[in-house]
Every structure is written in C-alpha cells, then in structure tokens.
C-alpha cells in the first residue's frame, strides 16, 4: 500500500497578478487528517479547489498515488465541501441528500438515513435546510460530500463561524469518519489551536507558499518550553551541552539548538559556553503556544521567523 494518498509537485495557481498558490508541495498520508493552516487569503481554498479538480493549475502537478486509478477516476473518490455547502434552502435535509444520491444512482432510503445519522442530523431531516443552524448546514454539507463513499474528504474551513459546542461536534464527527470509515481528510482553518485537536499532519501556508509541513508531534515539540541557543558554532556547542548532562536537545538549523530539559540550568549552560569560547549570539527560554507559533512563522508577530 502506498504511504501517500496525495502528493503535489510545485502546484501553482496564478490569477491575473496574484499568485494564489506558489509552488506548493504537500504530502498527504493515507489515513491522516491533514490540516492546511493559513490566514484569510493565504491560498487554502485555491489549493483545495485544484486538488478537487475544480480549478486548473497554472503549473505544477499532483498525483493521487494511493487510488490505483487514473487522476480523472480519482476525482470520483473524493468528497469536497469547499466554500459554502451547495444546499437548496427550500428543501429538507433529506431531499437535499436525495437529489445528490439520485445523481450518483443511489435510490436507497436507508443509505440517506445512515449518512444523516452519521453526521448527527437524524430527526432533523424533515426541517427545511434553510432553517438549519450554521452547524447543521455544515453537517449537511459534509453528509452531501459523503455521498458515493469517498476515500478522501476535502473540507474548507468547516468549523468557521461555529460556536464551541458546534466545533466540538464537527471535530468528533470527523474523528469518527477518519477512524471508523478510514477516510483521509484534508481540512483547512485559520485557527491552528483548533485544528491541532484534530489534525495528524499540517502545512502552514502564507501568501500562497507552504512555510512548513510537519506532523502533529513535531509541531508540539516546537511549541514546548525550551532553551533556545543561537550560535555560529553549533558543532562546538554540542559537546558542552552533552558534558553538562543535557539529554533532550535538538539541532534546529546550522545556527540554532533547542534544549528541552533542565531549563533552570540556563545560567550554567551560558557560562560553560562562554568558557569554551563559543560565540553565543543569544540564549534564552522560549515558550509559545500553538497560535503564537503560527503567528511567528507567518511573520504576523514582528521579529524573526522561526
């Protein structure tokens, strides 16, 4: 079995003078919940539209490696809810579902009831969809996207505008779809904290570019409290750190080391580095919650990109 369901290669979309997606490379593992995080206008919808087959890339490509079928056939294995759900307000939830099911050649009433049950709308299906709350509309939109039993669900900001209770319900439902129906999910949001409760992998996008792609574990690691050392000589600093008995540290790049244990011993560490004549540009305790981290990497908080 292929590890990845979808891989994009330099996927680009230019609208007149705006590059909405700029050489995007993302790797979505089969069975994952992949979060696309970015501020409004960052390019999330554009990427989703391209991979759902709703917009043509200007350049670059993408491949559904896990479907074992052609790209065109792969599109039929995808359910998408992009921008507002296509709901007919004067029809009941059930009838909205019936129309979509008929287009898929599905005439089974139980199929519709099962999907409405799955998204928590059982009992609501007699009500006109125009009278649904925002959360109920989103859930109906997800039920519509599930018609045809897709392997891959693309959801554009499905929790946008929902109250905390509504967010929790959608989150629980998506977890269930992922765990029980084994559906791989691509979900976008501008709230990292919220997505972090659900996503297994992430891409942070800003001005059309992917700034970083990471697993949930890696992201949480980056947000842990740590001693951050900036030095021009990482190689020389490491034996000093080892010598002081620090065990949990990582080299972030050729100028930065993060040390996660014994934070209270920062002064000793600083003194020992100075003694060993290692040029330390800066040393300090860093802590950031997920949202701060997101703002930092997207350059919203003034200062250096991490």
Q: Which residues bind ligand ATP (CB under 6 A)?
A: 15, 18, 20, 38, 40-46, 157
Q: How far is CA 199 from CA 115, 172, 253, 305, in A?
A: 23, 12, 26, 23
Q: Could you tell me the two tokens for 17?
A: 């003078």
For residues 16 and 126, which CB has a smaller minimum distance to ligand ATP in the complex?
16
CB of 129 to ligand ATP, least distance (A): 23
For residues 42 and 143, which CB has a smaller minimum distance to ligand ATP in the complex?
42
- Are 7 and 157 within 8 A, CB to CB? no
CB of 224 to ligand ATP, least distance (A): 28
In DSSP notation, 92-106 reads BHHHHHHHHHHHTT-
CB of 199 to ligand ATP, least distance (A): 16
For residues 40 and 70, which CB has a smaller minimum distance to ligand ATP in the complex?
40
Q: CA 138 to CA 152: how far, in whole Å? A: 17
CB of 38 to ligand ATP, least distance (A): 5
- Residue 88 phi, psi dihedral angles, 5° rounding: -90, 110
Q: CA 48 to CA 32: how far, in whole Å? A: 16
For residues 24 and 269, which CB has a smaller minimum distance to ligand ATP in the complex?
24
For residues 198 and 241, which CB has a smaller minimum distance to ligand ATP in the complex?
198
CB of 233 to ligand ATP, least distance (A): 40
Q: CA 235 to CA 132: how far, in whole Å? A: 61
């Amino acid at each position: 079995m292929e590890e990845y369901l979808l891989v994009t290669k330099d996927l680009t979309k230019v609208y007149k003078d705006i590059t909405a997606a700029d050489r995007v490379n993302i790797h979505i593992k089969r069975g994952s919940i992949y979060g696309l995080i970015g501020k409004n206008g960052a390019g999330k919808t554009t990427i989703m539209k391209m991979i759902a087959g709703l917009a043509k890339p200007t350049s670059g490509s993408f491949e559904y490696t896990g479907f074992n079928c052609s790209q065109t056939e792969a599109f039929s294995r995808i359910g998408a809810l992009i921008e507002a759900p296509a709901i007919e307000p004067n029809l009941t939830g059930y009838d909205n579902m019936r129309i979509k099911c008929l287009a898929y050649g599905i005439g089974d009433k139980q199929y519709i009831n099962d999907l409405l049950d799955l998204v928590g709308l059982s009992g609501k299906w007699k009500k006109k969809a125009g009278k649904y709350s925002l959360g109920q509309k989103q859930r109906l939109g997800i039920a519509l996207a599930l018609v045809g039993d897709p392997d891959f669900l693309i959801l554009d900001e499905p929790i946008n505008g929902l109250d905390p209770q509504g967010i929790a319900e959608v989150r629980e439902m998506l977890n269930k779809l992922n765990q029980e129906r084994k559906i791989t999910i691509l979900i976008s949001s501008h709230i990292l904290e919220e997505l972090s409760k659900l996503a297994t992998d992430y891409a942070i996008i800003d001005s059309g570019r992917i700034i970083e792609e990471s697993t949930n574990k890696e992201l949480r690691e980056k947000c842990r409290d740590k001693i951050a050392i900036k030095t021009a000589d990482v190689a020389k600093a490491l034996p000093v750190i080892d010598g002081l008995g620090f065990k949990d540290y990582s080299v972030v790049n050729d100028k930065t080391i993060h040390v996660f244990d014994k934070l209270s011993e920062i002064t000793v560490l600083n003194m020992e580095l100075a003694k060993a004549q290692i040029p330390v540009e800066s040393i300090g305790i860093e802590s950031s919650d997920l949202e701060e981290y997101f703002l930092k990497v997207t350059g919203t908080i003034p200062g250096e990109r991490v």
